[in-house]
Structure 1
Amino acid sequence: MFSNIIIGQSINLIEGKKFRGAIFPSSYKNTSYNWLEDKNRFTPTKEEILLFEKKLHDKLKLINKSRLNQKGKCPVIHNNLQKYIRQYLGFIDESGKKYLMINFLWSRSSLHENPKEEYYNELGDWKKNWQVWFDGCSHFWNVKYYLESETLFDLQVNGSS
């Protein structure tokens, strides 16, 4: 079961049994990030997102063997997927292959936002603006996913200062 809600800039919200996120359209612009102006973009469909989410845990566990920045108070990402809010962007590489770029933003329960949470204020606009974090260890990370080959790649887990 999932729900789909449309808000500013045609950003679609999607919610499944164990996740929720924002699907950013190919037309999404953010003056802070020039790389978002890439001409080779597409808007992911809810079906593409649902297929990705279905495969995520097992595929992530395989590429997350080193558990970079996932010790102590920094959670092991593949064991805590339900605690992350997602943001989805669609890109097309030089060879014409479609891939998703997915941001994962820590929220103890991504299905029930709590204004008292440590990161709540910063995440307040996750439904409207692509988030970029420079610290926070595994509370903030992203990965890319080729749709056709169902391959996860370029796992980036934030460091901590």
Structure 2
Amino acid sequence: MNKTLYIIFLFVFLLLLQGLVLNNVLFLGYINPYLYIVFVFLYPLKENRFPFLILAFLLGLFVDAFSNSGGIHAFSTLFIAYIRPFFFRTIFKKTTSDYQLFNLRHESFDKVFNYTTSLTIIHHFILFNLINFSFYNFSNVLINTLFSSVFTLVLYFLGSFIFRRKLT
């Protein structure tokens, strides 16, 4: 599949999945999966960074439109998109010259797990801090961050296991 078509399909699919399905899932009253951030994980690293940051912002903005949340998803998604190269270099021990050959599916599970978990927790922590916007409910922020991150990561790894293509 052409990379541009793949990026468009991934963007639209994750947006519609989040906006129409996952925003209506509220497990135990406060756990909500935010699977749309998978776009940040799967966007090719070798592509130009500026369009990626714009797409990440737009994805968050469209999720905000579905959620009526005033920009908090846009900021959270843009932030993890911006810091993604740092985690790439730190966790995978690769340089920017390795971007051309990098594929998340070819990396070991522990590195992928650390990468996705770090970005997910950061995204959710920022998101729930902006939702509460006070230190009065900081324990709720931590609980929501923890449980929603676990729920999001379980859905991500289940989906990546189910939809994995043969590598041969």
Asked if Structure 1 and Structure 2 have the same fold, meaning a TM-score greater than 0.5 normalized by the shorter chain, the answer is no
**For this structure pair, what is the TM-score category when the shorter chain's length is used for normalisation?**
under 0.3
The structure where helix makes up a greater share of residues is 2
Q: TM-score, normalised by structure 1?
A: 0.28
